[in-house]
Structure 1
Amino acid sequence: MAQVPALDDVVRLLHQWYPPHTAESWDAVGLVWGELDQRVGKILFAVDPTPEVAQEAAEWGADLLVVHHPLFLKPVHGVAATTPKGRTLTTLIKAGCALLTAHTNADQALGGVSEALATALGLGEQQPITPAPGDPVDKLTVYVPTDAAAIVRAAIAEAGAGQIGNYDFASFSSDGTGRFRPLDGAEPMIGTVGAIEEVAEVRIEAVLPRGRRAAVVRAMRAAHPYEEPAYDVVEVADSEIGATGTGRIGTIARMPLGEFAQIVADALPPTAQGVRVAGDPARSVRRIAVCGGAGDFLLDTILRTDADVYVTSDLRHHPAAEFLERAAGGEDGGPALIDVAHYAAESTWLPVVEARLREVLGEGVETRVSEINTDPWTMRL
């Protein structure tokens, strides 16, 4: 029989793929409720933690409900079952079903919401619209007597310096001559007080995560033979363009805007809103930018890209109109806009994270994507 994982194991996986620390500061992500040692044999995935979705989870016997939107984005003073949010949590607790949210931490990630939307629309050569900055890095440079260089190199590596990609203990060394004069009160290992001394030294350079700066410097000083080692630590400018970041931009086979809009409509679940288009249906499009969820905060950025069309949700009248006016002054008329329902865009992520978990956890876990459409709009006249 396949092993049924503990909730702690599932949470660790989701947090590895969608790290909570990458969420926006205003967001509320992570495990909302659940005992870490409870077994998880059934996982349900949904965009919104509504009372109806909670009831579906309870009736199916789910042990974990994974949602995109937070249940408690704003602070509350109680969770009485007289409120919709209280009913949702009460239903889950009574059913023994844990609740986990992956919101803005899932938006930017590999295998996240914007990537899922871009893939659902057939975009190739995907890149983030705004790449996430790489982890902050420092560089340590220290001067060591030649016969002690290997000891110091090993000490700083053990403390966390010198890791680059899939390599560790990486450093650079160059030979030189150190010159100094010990003063009164010094206890020099080499040389005498008052006399200038020259020593064959090695300059050692290694990069390190900024969070390991204090530990690496302590290790260096402890291993260094000098009473006062000469060293410096500099902050390295971020030059890495990673695969994570806000939104996605990619390519499709060139086609008219109207034809691409139909592809968008066919790829997403039907909603009362449908697909709204701003632009000439006959214009040719190839470069497509997308952002899962409300994406009008990226409008200024989109104007600086080579996108032919921008697909997102919740575009408001004035920002959209001003965007189109500014785009019209561009060389090629600027990007067109396609506005889709918020729920529809973000629902593309659910089968992606479901498949990802199922692949890792194996047959010990049943998974299901909720079929409840939680889009708030139900009719259009």
Structure 2
Amino acid sequence: MTIEALLSYLLDRYPVEQAESWDHVGLSAGDPHAEVTGVLVALDASAEAVRRAADLGANVLVTHHPVYISAPKSFTPAPDAEHNAAGAAVFEAIRRGVSIISLHTNLDRDPEARNHLASLLGATPEGSFEHPDDAALPGLGSVGVIPTTTLGDVARLAANAFSSDPRVWGPPERSVRRIAVLGGSLGDLAELALSSHVDAVVCGEAGYHVCQDLWLRGCSVVLLGHDRSEQPFVDILSKAVASAGIDPSSIATMECPRQWWTTYEGERA
């Protein structure tokens, strides 16, 4: 299979039309006419992921996050004060002969992906932030119901399901029945969450004032960390690559490395 054929399959499955207008999805670097020798699936299109792919003998890196949204001003071997990490990742990809394909907000909006996130919390999807009454339509976030429980129990469930230590807005005893789950940033979707009448939003990140306003208006927030909330997309994409016809034995996945730490963890180390 050529890289172009793999790209076509993935974009048929997660159409570009589902992506935000500002987003950069699809092929960022590489030769579309080359034959696929192997695929590494990762959350981030980093230089480290490119090197991992090449070391495994894979010439395709499939990621959720694009290597860039706007093209860097330069492409250099390493990031520094004047040259960003995205340019270094593209430089390494060209140097090592690794093509980069990214499925970002077109994946976020796809029912397959967002409903998988809901399933990790045992939620039954009913729709999205944009279409709360129709789970079949593309839309950001999964809105649905779970067996009536408390916010504290939801937070503990989310911590286990996403391997996270979440920050939680709202009293732990607050009752939760209707829930929204979103990978990545809540951004400007807070009002849509409220209009969907959810008791809690589980997402990667959200601003302080947004969280404060939501929980004071009756909607609690569970913040998983951007990376932890979207790591499940790696499994989704690896299965999609296999469905395209790539031999599963030539598909590898990469756990998003922890690039941050807390002072508590540092004191324990």
> What TM-score, normalized to structure 1?
0.63
Please give the per-residue CA displacement for 1:323-375, whole angstroms capped at 9, x wherever unaligned.
223x1xxxxxx2211111000111111101211221341537621210242x5
Q: Give aligned pairs, total.
A: 259
Q: How far did 1:285 drift?
A: 1.3
Structure-2 residue corresponding to 1:38: 34
Could you tell me how far apart the structure 2 residues matched to 1:101 and 1:363 are?
20
Could you tell me how far apart the structure 1 residues matched to 2:61 and 2:185 are?
23
Structure-1 residue corresponding to 2:150: 256
Q: What percentage of residue pairs aligned between the two structures are identical?
A: 27
Q: How far did 1:245 drift?
A: 0.8
Structure-2 residue corresponding to 1:265: 159
Cα 1:75–1:32, aligned 2, differ >3 Å: closer, same or farther? closer
> What TM-score, normalized to structure 2?
0.88
Whether the aligned pair in 1 keeps the contact of 2:45 and 2:65 (CA below 8 Å) is: yes
Classify the secondary structure of the residue corresponding to 2:89. helix
Structure-2 residue corresponding to 1:313: 204
Cα 1:88–1:241, aligned 2, differ >3 Å: closer, same or farther? closer
Could you tell me how far apart the structure 2 residues matched to 1:372 and 1:242 are?
29
Could you tell me how far apart the structure 2 residues matched to 1:352 and 1:301 are?
26
* One-letter identity of the residue aligned with 1:79: F
Structure 1 or 2, whichever has the larger Rg, is 1
2:25 is equivalent to residue 24 of structure 1: no
Could you tell me how far apart the structure 1 residues matched to 2:46 and 2:38 are?
19
Selected match of 1:70 from 49, 66, 73: 66
Whether the aligned pair in 2 keeps the contact of 1:115 and 1:248 (CA below 8 Å) is: yes
Structure-1 residue corresponding to 2:183: 292
Q: How far did 1:56 drift?
A: 1.1
Structure 1: runs of 5 or more not aligned: 133-239, 328-333
| Larger relative strand fraction | 1
Selected match of 1:55 from 51, 56, 59: 51
Classify the secondary structure of the residue corresponding to 1:343. helix
* One-letter identity of the residue aligned with 1:247: G
Structure-2 residue corresponding to 1:87: 88
| Superposition pairs of residues 1-381 of structure 1, within 5 angstroms | 5-83=1-79, 84-112=85-113, 114-131=114-131, 242-270=136-164, 274-325=165-216, 327=217, 334-361=218-245, 363=247, 366-373=250-257, 375-381=258-264
Could you tell me how far apart the structure 1 residues matched to 2:125 and 2:106 are?
22
Classify the secondary structure of the residue corresponding to 2:145. strand
Q: How far did 1:87 drift?
A: 2.9
Calculate the aligned-residue CA RMSD, in Å: 2.2
